[in-house]
Amino acid sequence: MDIGIIGGSGYTGGELLRLLSQHPEAKVMAVTSRSMKGQKVSNTHTHLRKIYDLIFEDLTPDEVASRSDIVFTAVPHGTAMQVVPALLDNGVKVIDLSADYRLKTDVFEKTYKMKHIDPRDAVYGIPELHPEVAEQKFIANPGCYPTGASLAAAPLADAGLIERVVFDSKSGISGAGAEPTLVSHYPNMAENIQAYKLTSHRHRAEIVQELTRLDSGLKSISFTPHVIPSVRGILTTAHIFVKKELNEEDVSEIYRDFYQDKPFIRLIQGIPMLGSVRGSNFCDIGFEIEKNSDRIVVISAIDNLVKGASGQAIQNMNLMFGLSETTGLWTPALAP
Amino acid sequence: MDIGIIGGSGYTGGELLRLLSQHPEAKVMAVTSRSMKGQKVSNTHTHLRKIYDLIFEDLTPDEVASRSDIVFTAVPHGTAMQVVPALLDNGVKVIDLSADYRLKTDVFEKTYKMKHIDPRDAVYGIPELHPEVAEQKFIANPGCYPTGASLAAAPLADAGLIERVVFDSKSGISGAGAEPTLVSHYPNMAENIQAYKLTSHRHRAEIVQELTRLDSGLKSISFTPHVIPSVRGILTTAHIFVKKELNEEDVSEIYRDFYQDKPFIRLIQGIPMLGSVRGSNFCDIGFEIEKNSDRIVVISAIDNLVKGASGQAIQNMNLMFGLSETTGLWTPALAP
Amino acid sequence: MDIGIIGGSGYTGGELLRLLSQHPEAKVMAVTSRSMKGQKVSNTHTHLRKIYDLIFEDLTPDEVASRSDIVFTAVPHGTAMQVVPALLDNGVKVIDLSADYRLKTDVFEKTYKMKHIDPRDAVYGIPELHPEVAEQKFIANPGCYPTGASLAAAPLADAGLIERVVFDSKSGISGAGAEPTLVSHYPNMAENIQAYKLTSHRHRAEIVQELTRLDSGLKSISFTPHVIPSVRGILTTAHIFVKKELNEEDVSEIYRDFYQDKPFIRLIQGIPMLGSVRGSNFCDIGFEIEKNSDRIVVISAIDNLVKGASGQAIQNMNLMFGLSETTGLWTPALAP
Amino acid sequence: MDIGIIGGSGYTGGELLRLLSQHPEAKVMAVTSRSMKGQKVSNTHTHLRKIYDLIFEDLTPDEVASRSDIVFTAVPHGTAMQVVPALLDNGVKVIDLSADYRLKTDVFEKTYKMKHIDPRDAVYGIPELHPEVAEQKFIANPGCYPTGASLAAAPLADAGLIERVVFDSKSGISGAGAEPTLVSHYPNMAENIQAYKLTSHRHRAEIVQELTRLDSGLKSISFTPHVIPSVRGILTTAHIFVKKELNEEDVSEIYRDFYQDKPFIRLIQGIPMLGSVRGSNFCDIGFEIEKNSDRIVVISAIDNLVKGASGQAIQNMNLMFGLSETTGLWTPALAP
């Protein structure tokens, strides 16, 4: 497969390149960046020295499409909708890593406070929840928080058992991007933890969309994100209040059945942690049932740049091309 | 005031020494440690070199009492109850930093799964919630998590407004003590976050005790702790579901009134963070009300070793001796 | 003493404020910042909430001088020389924390590649090496690296024993300032260490000036700095090649004699580390002599923002006003 | 190739497993651990869940040999010499990751203060310096510090140009192993840097052996290690004093010629850093020549667990079996 990447200078672009270098069927043919035009890709992504000889180019969507079987758009929201139509018109497959096509158009416009110039349906690319990914030409790749949150709660939502859920998520700071900011300034982030957008993070809309798709009666879905002094990873603590009493075997069975034959989901006995998934496409899930209470705590751990972004995009690509979804992605985490 | 410290080799002992070195009315007369007996205190606490010439001694409670007006017991739970009675019999004031006297005896025995050999009432030393601290000879100094959690939710509990509260707390790893363990091993903790005791942490009993004291009808109190790659601090994210709609001014007023004239509580407009309280006795509190929802997110930030332990102990001491509660404690955090 | 601070929004300004809040004889009367004009100081320095009610002002040097007995200039190099003359003309004492007056004018102009508009002699304010600080009205406060390096090597330089010295210094990233950059971006700095200006850092000129003042024959002085994933501190590893064989007692005696009665120097048996000096004005020094070799490794540890900047400035202030040099500075480090 | 690993529970064992899982020609047939006997490998190495179904076994060398074409011994020094002879007697190839066979026997016994029970010559497995690796049945895999230091200085040593060299090395704490200690305790290591064995680290003997092999006249080789708050990586700052003046092109040419066709050496224009090599087998090297001085600063960056241990071992294995040395190892670093 010939691959094009639009927007290759950020973290998700770099991560696509890193992961695709290990993919036996993929060859990157074009990487665009307006600001880095003419420079070596490995000047920006120094970890890719000797791995790629590519140069960042400033190309039109048509030019990228002409070299590619599939194009990944790793650009900010609002920008993707400007290039996706031309790519699709060229007949190439497209996976959009931005937020532009993840939500119903009206929800998108309300959430992102902008007009959508290319209203269009797209399958939401969490393959474990959307097997129809395999038949698509166009995929909206999910947000990082919604991936961790939805995978943690989906089995219980699907079983209609959730009364109320509070997602308290803790993300590595790479999720905020490659541009230095006051929050990502080392002296501010180190030895700290920063809660933000306590009740209004835009990713909540994706979580609501996914969980109410599974259980239309689910009304109370709360989400509060934090950044922690880690580079990668999202740990989601899902405080789930259930409608009826469940024991450990009940819950285990619900999760086992729901995630049967899903290679990247690892249901574990203990408590998931970022250290077990760093750099990999796995999502580890564990849980504990509170005694004398209607609360179940489900924990999921993902790498925000892999399962939460570029790895999941390649998983989607594999399925869209009829490959095994693990092709090029069956690599363990880096630990310690 | 002449001070004795029983159990001076751990983090709370070291922190008592650090803070007392700045206290104009206090002089440390004895520091005990069985394992470090005969060694310089500053061998263990190298940051105290030149500040103290003290030697760790292996003394009986009577011997410590004979040199002290007040004794801090900074020993593990189960040990404090072996020394507190003798200290009190000697007529000295005592502040116990262990868990031994924080809970009603029956709750203690169920929670800590041990028989109490010295059942005795003690005032629970969060001075902002217990003004009666000032008249006491004996104080049970609170746990670190309960301090952050109780202070975050107390005003709304006191107003009878809480239907359900989920405390999702994130602690620096110093809370786990000075002894190396697998969890505190740098390669395991760095770039990670570790949830633990998802539904069964013993500190929950203290939170329940404090909040139901303020609102006996409050039934649903959940608590899940995490350790993050920071040394100090506890950030508590309190997801509070309230009984009736409240606007921002309502909540502000409730907190302002409740914490009027409490010098160490800082009610802030933005979102509290550990970086603003590190090394200090302050508790920063902020909140946000979710639109179209019954949820209020209240965040509190404390230093677990100061307001969560040794600083609060000295605050209690000040009050017990008729001093201003800020004496020796009115120091800003270390930032960045 | 009434204090003025010109340039209060950065890290050294914030650190002056933090330390001065604990000084029994000092009262801050003015803090300037052009960019933050009209805002509360504690909006920027959130750790100073409730400690200071000050507002950043945009004042002329004359206005600051009119409110002050002493003024600290915490501004970039090139800016200090624009305000220092007017301050001194007003008769106030001045401590300049910039690089503008640390070097002989010709060396300054060559090193900083700019014309000096106010050539003027100033005492270089490392009080342990310059007792004449006490009689001054104007002090050039030293750079952070030169403080750690000079204190590590001065006794052996003074004894004329050094043939060659390589300073390999490791600094916390706060030394690079409060402005976010690519180097200080958390994902770039975490789990990393970055050597920079391998042979050409401007602070070398200060080290050379100080050591050749003690031993004019000392020719080979090398310096290479690194930033490490810590916020505060500079650990200097001084690889010193000596002219004649020395044993441990020789070296100990040289250091003990040289630093006799210097309260902030702690000569230690083991190996200094940042954790013992964080937030304090101490400089810890230790050494080891290599067997069958002419090398001695001397290690010094300071907090770059305290002994390496604002703490040392206050130490100088104390001496200039006839106070004990430890006044308001006799505080232990924050550990852990 | 069928692989046996003796001592699989530590970091180098885990890293062998991680890397071998991506090797197209390798299959791990046995992993031993006495303490973890009977437990799943992925209980200890949780990042390997679903990647391996292996169980730790307690096997004799003969048993391991019977299942293997090549055996890696990842055990402490002193233990390797007890199993290597039996393995070699079985005719399998062996790569020993301990220190037991890296030094001439007399040097080993003096350095490690123990009697060697199996004196035997082994090729020192830095393939870039020892092309004869390819013909061996037994390789002594180098230490982590010596790999970074030797690769940094070898070209200039080989050219006979070094008068004196000081290696100031900074290692991630994973180099100290998987067992928690006071030094690796998170509150002690975070925000710190710890110099240790300032003049007497045992790895110096390997560096001396390698560099004097290239230049028998090189007399002054100094080495001081530090641990920094990073998990992985060694940055070596080599302060090299040369015998004659060299310009940038001279030095570039010496390095380019020396490392021609060495795939894992990346000579770079800027300054190497850990972030570019984390998790990979690359060694990045850069340098700067000091003006008006005889000093050249050469920086090398490696991952201590990969190029400094398990990755280099697999590189050696590839060569011993006639494979391309990059087989299974041509993966980029994990960044950010």
**pLDDT tens sequence across B230-250:** 999 999 999 999 999 999 999
Of D193, D239, D273, the CB nearest to C194: D273
Domain that includes residue B85, residue range: 2-121
Which of C24, C3, C1 has the alpha carbon at shortest distance from C13?
C3
**pLDDT class of D122 with cuts at 50, 70, 90:** very high
Q: Where are the alpha helices (DSSP H) in chain A?
A: 11-20, 41-44, 61-66, 80-89, 105-112, 144-158, 186-189, 203-214, 248-258, 311-320
Instruction: Quickly list DSSP for B178-224.
Output: SS--TTTBHHHHTT--EE-STTT-THHHHHHHHHHHH-TT--EEEEE
Indicate if D285 and D239 belong to the same structural domain.
Answer: yes
Which of B16, B36, B35, B37 has the alpha carbon at shortest distance from B27?
B16
Indicate if A108 and A158 belong to the same structural domain.
Answer: no
Indicate if A91 and A190 belong to the same structural domain.
Answer: no
Best mutation site among D46, D53, D192, D329 for testing chain A: the one with the most A CBs within 10 Å? D46
Residues in chain A within 8 Å Cβ distance of D273: 46
Q: CA torsion angle for C246, C251, C254, C260 (degrees, to 10)?
A: -170
Q: Among all residues of chain B, which has the CA nearest to that of A185?
A: B336
Q: Is A154 among the domain residues?
A: yes
Tell me the pLDDT of chain D averaged across its residues: 98
Indicate if B262 and B198 belong to the same structural domain.
Answer: yes
Q: What is the CATH number of the domain that holds B111?
A: 3.40.50.720
Q: What is the CATH number of the domain that holds C225?
A: 3.30.360.10
Residue A85 near chain D (CB below 8 Å): no
Which of B69, B87, B121 marks a domain boundary?
B121
**pLDDT class of D41 with cuts at 50, 70, 90:** very high
Q: Among all residues of chain C, which has the CA nearest to that of D233?
A: C192
- What is the tens place of the pLDDT at every residue in C60-102? 999 999 999 999 999 999 999 999 999 999 999 999 999 999 9
Prediction ipTM score: 0.97
The segments of chain B whose pLDDT lies below 70 read none
B254-263 CB contacts, 8 Å cutoff, 24+ apart: B254/B155, B254/B156, B254/B159, B254/B161, B255/B155, B255/B285, B255/B287, B257/B155, B258/B154, B258/B155, B258/B158, B259/B128, B259/B155, B259/B285, B262/B128, B263/B325, B263/B326, B263/B330, B263/C50
| All partners of chain B with 3 or more CB pairs under 8 angstroms | A, C, D
Q: Is C313 among the domain residues?
A: no
Catalytic residues of D: 144
Cβ–Cβ pairs < 8 A, chains B and D: 52
Neighbouring CB atoms inside 10 A of A91's CB total 9
- Write down the pLDDT at residue B325: 97
Indicate if D182 and D286 belong to the same structural domain.
Answer: yes
Q: Is D243 among the domain residues?
A: yes
- Write down the pLDDT at residue A18: 98
- What is the tens place of the pLDDT at every residue in A221-255? 999 999 999 999 999 999 999 999 999 999 999 99
- D47–A268: do the CB atoms touch at under 8 Å? no
Q: Is D314 among the domain residues?
A: no
Indicate if B263 and B150 belong to the same structural domain.
Answer: yes
Q: Which amino acid is at D232?
A: R
Full-model pTM: 0.97
Q: Among all residues of chain C, which has the CA nearest to that of B14?
A: C335
- What is the tens place of the pLDDT at every residue in A12-32? 999 999 999 999 999 999 999
Average pLDDT over residues A136-164: 98
Residue C195 near chain D (CB below 8 Å): yes
Q: Is B105 among the domain residues?
A: yes
- A334–D47: do the CB atoms touch at under 8 Å? yes
Of C224, C273, C336, the CB nearest to D239: C224
Residue D174 near chain B (CB below 8 Å): yes
Residue C185 near chain A (CB below 8 Å): yes
Indicate if A36 and A96 belong to the same structural domain.
Answer: yes
- Write down the pLDDT at residue D1: 95
Q: Which amino acid is at D275?
A: G
Tokens standing for residue C177: 């300032």
* CA–CA dist B190, D151 (Å, integer): 29
* CA–CA dist B240, B294 (Å, integer): 8
What's the total number of domains in chain C?
Answer: 2
Residue A53 near chain B (CB below 8 Å): no
- A178–C186: do the CB atoms touch at under 8 Å? no
- B178–C284: do the CB atoms touch at under 8 Å? no
Residue C50 near chain B (CB below 8 Å): yes
- Write down the pLDDT at residue C66: 98
- What is the tens place of the pLDDT at every residue in A42-79? 999 999 999 999 999 999 999 999 999 999 999 999 99
Q: Is B137 among the domain residues?
A: no
* Distance from the A334 Cα atom to the nearest Cα atom in chain D, whole angstroms: 7
Q: Is A21 among the domain residues?
A: yes
Q: Among all residues of chain C, which has the CA nearest to that of A232?
A: C187
Indicate if D16 and D72 belong to the same structural domain.
Answer: yes
- Which residues, at least 6 apart from C48, have a Cβ–Cβ distance to it below 8 Å? B332, C14, C17, C18, C21, C41, C42
Q: Among all residues of chain C, which has the CA nearest to that of B48?
A: C332
- B193–A271: do the CB atoms touch at under 8 Å? no
* Distance from the B21 Cα atom to the nearest Cα atom in chain C, whole angstroms: 7
Q: Among all residues of chain A, which has the CA nearest to that of D50?
A: A266
Indicate if D244 and D295 belong to the same structural domain.
Answer: yes
Q: Is C152 among the domain residues?
A: yes
Average pLDDT over residues C157-179: 98
Indicate if C155 and C104 belong to the same structural domain.
Answer: no
Proportion of chain D above pLDDT 70, given as a percent: 100
Best mutation site among C164, C165, C168 for testing chain D: the one with the most D CBs within 10 Å? C168
Which of A19, A20, A48, A144 is labelled catalytic? A144
Residue D259 near chain B (CB below 8 Å): no
User: Which residues face B287 on adjacent strands?
Assistant: B298
* Distance from the B178 Cα atom to the nearest Cα atom in chain D, whole angstroms: 8
| All partners of chain D with 3 or more CB pairs under 8 angstroms | A, B, C
- Write down the pLDDT at residue A166: 98
Residues in chain A within 8 Å Cβ distance of C335: none
Indicate if A57 and A196 belong to the same structural domain.
Answer: no
Indicate if B85 and B165 belong to the same structural domain.
Answer: no
Residue C146 near chain D (CB below 8 Å): no
Residues in chain B within 8 Å Cβ distance of C259: none
- Which residues, at least 6 apart from B121, have a Cβ–Cβ distance to it below 8 Å? none
